[in-house]
Structure 1
Amino acid sequence: MKLPKLILASILASGLSALTTQQAYALNLPICELPVNCLTFGDFNVYSLPLLDLQAGGDGVPKPGDSFYAPATYGAIQNNTIIGINNGNSTQTGNPSTTTDGSFNTPSQNNTTNQIFSTATAPDPNGGPAIGDGRSWDSTVGALQTLIGGANNPLVAFFAFNETGSGTGLLTTDLLIWAKVTLYDYTETGDILNSKSFYLSGNGSTDTPDETHLPDTANATQDTVGPWVYVHAGICVSDAGQFVGFPTNGVCASGTVKNQNNLGQNAAAFAINSPDLDTAMQSGDYNVFSLDWKMAYINGGGETAWFMPAGVDAQCPPGSTDPICLPINVPEPLSLSLLGIGLLGLGASRRFIKPRRA
């Protein structure tokens, strides 16, 4: 007996729905391939979103509708979890006051690079768990996982680069940044049973930068600034859109072009993720998230940092037991649709890359 076309279509649609349960993200980061599309500093992979836009066929300035566009204005991100923003202390939807801190106020003085920002010395925002308050941005792990869309989702931080000027160097549009995330297992009485830290650092060390003796700005490079991460306003790329290095005195080498990371408050410049931090947060071994964050040589400023739901592609080698790599079981009643689904997906059946999902 032949099934009516409408029933067959319904079965096929149901089967496809069952096999495509991965969460849809507004932005999905590719696998980190050093140094093609990202750089690694300590425990974190750092992506230049303008570079990813260029490599995806764009003009290097992410815009609404582009794959790597993340709006950075307060109106666009107020319902996300804001760590720091000019005129901070927001406790909007993305910063529920009982479980996460509000946002730190990032400085925005123009025509000076003497401003230093540190969660250790800046006025602490209201709210959040009492643990760690006064020197860090804090949240319960459960609340943060809910705010990024689910306990199995990757934690992706976004950073809007908002310096004034047109040159390069720490006295113009470049700056220094450093961060440490510590996960704690706290008891109800405040005792620490366990902790683990993850560093965004320039030399891979666990050292804390000295805010009173900053690196010399003359001929500064990543090799000379110690634990700080040197954040470049511009990068150099080939005609094919491949990252080849950083400008020297504002100029890229012959045969390459300069691409701008300093997008202001129009869009996020960088996305940051640590697979190891994701694994630790998803282990269930920790209940408090604490972030220490520092910036130096800020010029203009008003930099913004926030968390929002995003995807990160994961490499899935044969035999992987990572939950994000395991096939999705299809209920037996849908078996009639498998042939059609198999034909539709034949071209992609041998790929081993799947986006992280809830």
Structure 2
Amino acid sequence: MARKFLYAIALLVVMVLAAALVLRFWSKELTRFAFVPRSAFEQLPALPAGFYDRADAWISRPGVKDDPAQYLPSGAARGAVGSAYVFFVHPTSYLARDHWNGPIEDMDARFRADLFVQSMASAFNGVGAVYVPRYRQAAFGAFLTDRPEAQRALKIAHGDVEQAFATFVRQIPADAPIVLAGHSQGALHLLTLIRDRVRGTPLERRIIAAYLIGWPVSPTRDLPAMGLPACDRPDRTGCVASWMSFAEPADPTMMLDAWRAQPTPDGGGKRTIEPMLCFNPLRGATGGNAPASANLGAMVPADDLKSGAIVARAVPARCDAGTGLLMLGDPPKMGPFVLPGNNYHVYDIPLFWADLRADVARREAAWLAATAKAKP
């Protein structure tokens, strides 16, 4: 009996080691197999005119009951609310492979989107009203393949975001300052939105800042295409901030592969390997290094993910000059959703929740001061 038990233990050890080897050498292939949609592509029509006039088309906006963007973690003070209007595009929450575009009514995707809005968009609720649209997002698997269906899915999703943004602009005061913010897929849609719908229009002068977080932004191609500079100092307005958080050792291959599959701003050529734009939220500026003592507070989630608490001095941050990644040093304990390669993608905002809150408030004050000074 003892010998059989030892054989069983040995077999389990071999199976665990074999699984570890499979994950180490074929993790990308397994991820693609698990998430890339297998169904035929559905060419969805545009949403009906006036769709975003409906309250249920928004996760967050003034008047929404139990608005997740209005969440305040333990240890954070609400204070007075500013006069800006925030348009936030949430990251990918549709993980199934039944469709290339997540149905707006999918309950699992809605649940995850609400959690993302609570942990990410809530950092912006101090500067003004927060609007977060529901949209037919491209499935997670669309970022793991170069099949043409992926770009078609992103085009449908972007059409929804553009429609939501047009409604947002129409509903807010004509001269109100605007904060654009998004994470991952949301940041990608905002990058395109700024390039196609904001640059060179009166809206451009109203932008306090654009926070394109969790998605690579090329300083040489994307910034010129958007017509906005990098947020290279704490008081600059009308600028772009972007970062991607990794602990060491970092392997950003999957993220960069997804980015290189996207068309360049001019629609021609391929993405080249270059350092990405790296905004250091602990410095309020691009580049540089800051110790953990500079961290005003990470929002560390509870085990059930339904709440969080502010923990000061949680992590340091260093912009790596060679890659543009925001390096965290040793892996911090934030929860179970760290992606392969020590990618803290899900925690890009929670790691610097209080710092981001302070950053956008500071830029709002700078924008208001400059606008008041420019008035005759």
- TM > 0.5 fold call: no
Please tell me the TM-score bracket, short chain as reference.
under 0.3
TM-score (norm 1): 0.28
**Greater share of strand:** 1
Highest RCO, 1 vs 2 (Cα 8 Å, sep ≥ 6): 1
**Greater share of helix:** 2
TM-score (norm 2): 0.27
